[in-house]
Amino acid sequence: MCDERGFTLWFTGLPCSGKTTLADAVAEELRKRGLKVERLDGDVVRRTLSRDLGFSREDREENIRRVAFVAKLLTRNGVVVLTSFVSPYRKVREEARKEIGDFVEVYVKCPLEVCMQRDVKGMYKKALAGEIKDFTGVSDPYEEPLNPEIIVETNKESVEACVSKILKELEGIGYLPSERC
């Protein structure tokens, strides 16, 4: 079994940028390396832990605070936590970083136009039509990370290339051994 050092890999980016796809793929690779891994996904958390919250700025910030608390508990108990949340505001992402400690921010960078093309749920279309207010990237801002540890560009790199880059960066900053356990 690998060293039981926990950390949180925080995937942030516009809706439909590829956060969940990448987090799931990285989680699978980390499990193959013998690590204890948990996924915290925005859609799942919204149906369970944060079902009482809406999408106002205050509610979005509270959602991220709840996720950060859960991630902190798991991280300190040797679990690798992969979160996939739009988490559009820098201030609350920085709060999450401070709360968790062992925190690696992954900016899933993708142009808005590409995210709109990938929108299988039709959320962007509804937001542009005024049916959804405060939608990130349309009527509410997304504040890009200033100094993320990892940046992947899903409009330019394949899922496999992004996963490889993330794993290599985790090895480079000391969160993963360079060889499989």
A 10 A CB-CB count for 173 gives 12
Q: Domains of the chain (ranges plus CATH)?
A: 7-172 (3.40.50.300)
Kindly state the tokens that stand for 10. 């925080």
pLDDT in tens, 129-146: 888 888 898 888 999 999
Q: What is the pLDDT of residues 61-101, one digit of tens each?
A: 999 999 999 999 999 999 999 999 999 999 999 999 999 99
Active site residue 158: no
Of the residues 17, 50, 87, 178, only one is catalytic, namely 87
Report d(CA 181, CA 127) in Å as an integer.
46
Residue type (1 letter), 14: L
- Give the tokens for residue 126: 């509804």
pTM of the model: 0.92
